Structure 1
Amino acid sequence: MKINFNIFNLIVDAEKSVTFKLYTRELRSGKTINSVEDLGSEFVNTKETKFVTHGFRSSGISDTCITIKDNYLNKSDVNVFVMDWSPISKILWYDIPKTATDNVGEVYSKFINQLIEKKQVDPKNIHLIGHSLGAHVSGFAGRRINGKAARITGLDPALPGFDVENELRLNNQDADFVDIIHTCAGYLGIASPIGHVDFYPNGGSVPQPGCGLLQLLEACSHSRSWELFAHSINNTVPYMASSCDDFSNSLGKHCNGDSVVMGEATPNTTRGVYYLETTATVPYVKSISTIDDNHL
């Protein structure tokens, strides 16, 4: 369905719809930042800076953003910005938020570039994390960042409207390292590999363990991507994934190559397609003994 862009521009004002909230260990309750000039002593420009954003029908106070933010601050002394674009993302006509992702990404990048230019933030200390439509927003922002961000993590990047050319969605040119976690592949999420490394937990599609097929509309499997990533930040037992010869093997769950950690600790040199198994209950990770048994 095509959108009349005169109507689109009346509905969508990305400049007014995007807000940023900074969280640090000294600022657990957060502070809304309208301009980089609002940043106080809580923001330290030499620390690693994480940006987290949400997807369709979600917001910056969703479990997606808050859980990831909290886990980072519990684990590390970092800056965390939550980028909220909910005045657009909550519009129920999906085509409007989908079409707005590029506009939102542009506004997102302007803020990040101000941090780089005015606060001397090193882009190699910047990591963008986005779920669903937020993954593509992160990509559209990343490609506009001066000097290129160190990393973008795409959590089940949205499929509807994005089965298109690389430049029209998140791709592995948008940051020095782009890692993807697929959990609703072919339904709400993109199926094909689009990052430097693509992880396919339990084959990457529906239903994920603990999610029924009838829960597709409730996005249980789609949400599992951000849950897995959030838990990876401070899990004591890592999510270990095995490399696959090709994409079809990951979907068929036939992979037994070299192992690598999925999630926050994924090495930025990792390339290719990886498969792993998770469980149905939090924190979804199999024990070391189970992992070892599966690789005997």
Structure 2
Amino acid sequence: MFRVLLLVCVAASVTTGVPVYEATPLNSHIIEFPGGDGQMHVVDLSEPPDMEVLYEIQRNPANNLYLLFTRRNPDTAQTLIMNNEDSIRYSYYNPNLETVVIAHGWLSNQNTDINAAIRTVYLQKKDVNVIVLDWRRLAMSGYVTAATGVPNVGRGLGQFLRFLNRVTGASFRNMHLIGFSLGAHLVGNAGRELGGDIARVTGLDPAGPLWHYNSNRISAADAVYVEAIHTDGGVLGLGIGTEVAHADFFPNGGNSQPGCLTGICDHNRAWELFASTVTHNHLIANKCESSWQLTWNSCRGTDQLPLGNDDIRKFGIGMYRVNTGRRYPF
């Protein structure tokens, strides 16, 4: 099974403001990229996006599902509806608690493994509001269409959080946005929509294809603290694999993970590691002074920072490496 053959892409824009991306002719524009179904799917990066879907997403950011889970309803969601104040007031949402938002990746929905895994460990750890963003209307489209529409879905999430703030008074400085793969760029755009006032944004192996030189990718400007966990980077990786945040973590060098034989496994390991650290907070990374140190596992700086965890006031800057085990809790 072949891996990603092209990661270098450029962005253009159409008059609608919806970005459209093209593959460069340096290599084949055919890649394989994993969906939430655990399978690799062939993607033609040169195909045109579905503009009908993109225009719908752009016109109506409220067409995504915002599903609330709390300790009072840990398994059965309450649906929060943008611009419907009663849906907030009559829910279990508590503006005095932290709010954690989870955004899945491509070909995924509310039932994808990442959502249940992160939701469960948070609610077991402490009393928080967990909001699962189901953006399947776009995520179930072709990869190029989904990637092109991600910034608009992210801005829609930001608008929803602004509405939540207006209705309840919930502080942006008490919110943590977590996104996997395409979802990492999505939550970055949500934070950007709010002027970087969100306390923390975590990108879990941010998607690489169509994002390497994309101005809409996750960035350090998106929150007070932005971190990225890179588990499948490199030339043939599915993730972006380069520094994008305040703190960038490269477990085991960031390219391949112990116990993994496929790119899907490496890619998914980002959210598996994160979920484990919410419970254990045990993966303490060393700061790297250069890419050479990162690659050759010689990061010995005294400046250390825990990978992941649930600390909404966490902060750090730089590249970090931590070596992990093959199996949970890693």
TM-score range (shorter-chain normalised) is 0.7 to 0.9
Match of 2:77 among 24, 27, 30: 30
Residue type of the partner of 1:271?
I
**Separation in 1 of the partners of 2:177 and 2:69?**
15
Q: Which residue of 1 aligns with 2:245?
A: 195
State the Cα deviation string for residues 221-246 of structure 1 (Å, max 9, x = none): 000000000011112x6011111112
Distance verdict in 2 for CA 1:276–1:104, change over 3 Å: same
Q: Which residue of 2 aligns with 1:205?
A: 255
Q: Which residue of 2 aligns with 1:180?
A: 228
Whether the 8 Å contact between 2:196 and 2:223 is mirrored in structure 1 is no
**Are 1:152 and 2:189 an aligned pair?**
no
**Are 1:76 and 2:126 an aligned pair?**
yes
**Are 1:9 and 2:57 an aligned pair?**
no
Q: Which residue of 2 aligns with 1:291?
A: none
Residue type of the partner of 2:129?
N
The alignment's TM-score, normalised by the length of structure 1, stands at: 0.88
**Separation in 2 of the partners of 1:255 and 1:78?**
35
Residue type of the partner of 1:88?
L
Distance verdict in 2 for CA 1:8–1:41, change over 3 Å: closer
Distance verdict in 2 for CA 1:168–1:248, change over 3 Å: farther
**Separation in 2 of the partners of 1:273 and 1:111?**
32
State the Cα deviation string for residues 3-52 of structure 1 (Å, max 9, x = none): 36644536756636411100000111221112352022521111111000
Q: Which one is further off, 266-275 or 26-35?
A: 266-275
**Separation in 2 of the partners of 1:89 and 1:283?**
29
Whether the 8 Å contact between 1:151 and 1:178 is mirrored in structure 2 is yes
**Separation in 2 of the partners of 1:234 and 1:4?**
40
Whether the 8 Å contact between 1:54 and 1:65 is mirrored in structure 2 is yes
State the Cα deviation string for residues 223-281 of structure 1 (Å, max 9, x = none): 0000000011112x601111111233212322111222111156623111111111111
Residue type of the partner of 1:223?
N
The number of residues matched between the two structures is 276
Give the drift of 1:163.
Answer: 0.6
- Gapped regions of structure 1 (runs ≥ 5): 285-296
Q: Which residue of 1 aligns with 2:157?
A: 108
**Are 1:164 and 2:209 an aligned pair?**
no
Match of 1:120 among 153, 169, 179: 169
Q: Which residue of 2 aligns with 1:242?
A: 286
Give the drift of 1:60.
Answer: 1.7
Residue type of the partner of 1:170?
I
> Considering only aligned residues, what root-mean-square deviation do their CA atoms show, in Å?
1.9
Residue type of the partner of 1:23?
F
Q: SS at the partner of 1:173?
A: helix
**Separation in 1 of the partners of 2:283 and 2:49?**
45
Whether the 8 Å contact between 1:136 and 1:169 is mirrored in structure 2 is yes
Whether the 8 Å contact between 1:242 and 1:275 is mirrored in structure 2 is yes
**Separation in 2 of the partners of 1:271 and 1:233?**
20
Whether the 8 Å contact between 2:155 and 2:189 is mirrored in structure 1 is yes
**Separation in 2 of the partners of 1:135 and 1:147?**
15
Q: Which residue of 2 aligns with 1:292?
A: none
- Gapped regions of structure 2 (runs ≥ 5): 1-45
